[in-house]
Structure 1
Amino acid sequence: MDILKIIRNRRSVMPVQYNSKSVTKEQINTLLESANWAPTHKKTEPWRFKVLHGDSQARLGSFLAEKYKETEANFSEFKYKKLMENPKKAGAIIAICMQRDPKESIPEWEEVASVAMAVQNMWLTATEMGIGSYWSSPGLIQYMDEFFEMALGETCLGFFYLGNFDGPIDERIPGPISKKTVWI
């Protein structure tokens, strides 16, 4: 598939759309390797990943659901169950983290942008491989240091859900770029 076609076919494929076919360790390693080639200012390479595969996915779901119950003033049983079940529906989950440059030699937004580009590399690679993926960034990510060990200056930016899927994905036709561009 050529790169423009891959870009045009990239979609968010949600956990509810995943089938039971597993995502292999080799496939995950390919995605992580593609992430590692993202652009990075001053070569800080701020992306950090924590792979949840198998039983750790159910533990993540329990942690998120219970933390939601503990912290949410407007509790919803529907959301609680969704937080509990979605991680178990995935073939794997990659926690997307950012390690801030200890010297703070560049603005934080540039580090976040580098991590986002690493995730885009994974997303495009997953698309090319026929694996569905979705970047979820619930407010509960602020508590992830209670779930897994994080280095000083490391923050969680979300979860990259992965799964195989059967059906077609929704077509997306963006608005014209001419309405979003000013030529000077």
Structure 2
Amino acid sequence: MSFPSEQVNKLIQSRRSTKPRYFNGEKIADEIVWQILENAGWAPTHGLTQPWRFKVFTDDGLEKLANFQADLYQKLTAEENFRLEKYNRLKTNILKSSHVVVICMERQKSEKIPRIEEIEAVACSVQNMALTATSYEICSFWGSGGVTYTQELKDFLNLGEKDLCLGYLYLGYSDNPATASRRDPIKNKVEWVDSVNSGQ
């Protein structure tokens, strides 16, 4: 099976992160979101553990998630550090999304596969989702700040003790999607070893 390599190259190099505050609130068809999730499930996974777990919030679910994270921010933040502007942003930005996929990792019960490899597998699944979204001209943003790594969020999501939340993938349309980006030349990041003396 062959694929047009130039189109694949263009898709990968066209992917951008557009922050949800730039979304316009337009709804993505659920069947497209299911296709995005389907492709997430084809990420590489050591031992076929398939550790990715996704909790999808949309419609009234977005308000539930927004209220939870804003209220948790207020609860966990000392009064002198509390910023009303951030609280309001946590309450409203998420509502501009069509769907928010909360990215979770379910830890293998036997723990045979190293934890880091399970995290890596989930990260690959997120890249699959972001690329699929790009192919549908849908914006995405993987956010992992704020309340992401708190025990309170794990409890809210009903995660197991050794499971992890790795952030949110915001999905939506935008009238002003991100288009510009840059990368350093890949040759600056690569050591090419092709003989016994290479790299010495």
What TM-score, normalized to structure 2? 0.87
Residue 116 of structure 1: how far off its partner (Å):
0.3
Structure number with larger C-alpha Rg = 2
Partner of residue 103 from structure 1, selected from 101, 110, 118: 110
1:102 and 1:153 in contact (8 A); partners too: no
Paired with 1:100 and 1:147, the residues of 2 have a C-alpha distance of 18
Deviates more, 1:149-158 or 1:4-13: 149-158
Moved over 3 A (4+): none
Number of the residue aligned with 2:98: 91
Matched, 1:154 2:154: no
User: CA-atom RMSD, angstroms?
Assistant: 1.4
Number of the residue aligned with 1:41: 46
- 1:82 maps to a residue whose letter is R
Partner of residue 17 from structure 1, selected from 22, 32, 41: 22
- 1:176 maps to a residue whose letter is P
2:18 and 2:177 in contact (8 A); partners too: no
- How many residue pairs match? The answer is 184
5+ long unaligned stretches in structure 1: none
2:69 and 2:90 in contact (8 A); partners too: yes
Paired with 2:146 and 2:114, the residues of 1 have a C-alpha distance of 23
Paired with 1:88 and 1:6, the residues of 2 have a C-alpha distance of 28
Paired with 2:169 and 2:178, the residues of 1 have a C-alpha distance of 18
Q: Deviations over 1:51-70 (max 9, x none)?
A: 00101101111110110011
Residue 111 of structure 1: how far off its partner (Å):
0.3
5+ long unaligned stretches in structure 2: 1-5, 194-200
- 1:79 maps to a residue whose letter is K
Number of the residue aligned with 2:197: none
Q: Deviations over 1:148-177 (max 9, x none)?
A: 322453221111100011225231121111
Deviates more, 1:171-180 or 1:50-59: 171-180
Paired with 2:108 and 2:177, the residues of 1 have a C-alpha distance of 41
Paired with 2:179 and 2:34, the residues of 1 have a C-alpha distance of 27
What TM-score, normalized to structure 1? 0.95
Matched, 1:182 2:180: no
Residue 146 of structure 1: how far off its partner (Å):
3.1
Paired with 2:133 and 2:53, the residues of 1 have a C-alpha distance of 18
Paired with 2:110 and 2:185, the residues of 1 have a C-alpha distance of 41
Matched, 1:65 2:65: no
Identity level (%):
40
Paired with 1:64 and 1:152, the residues of 2 have a C-alpha distance of 20
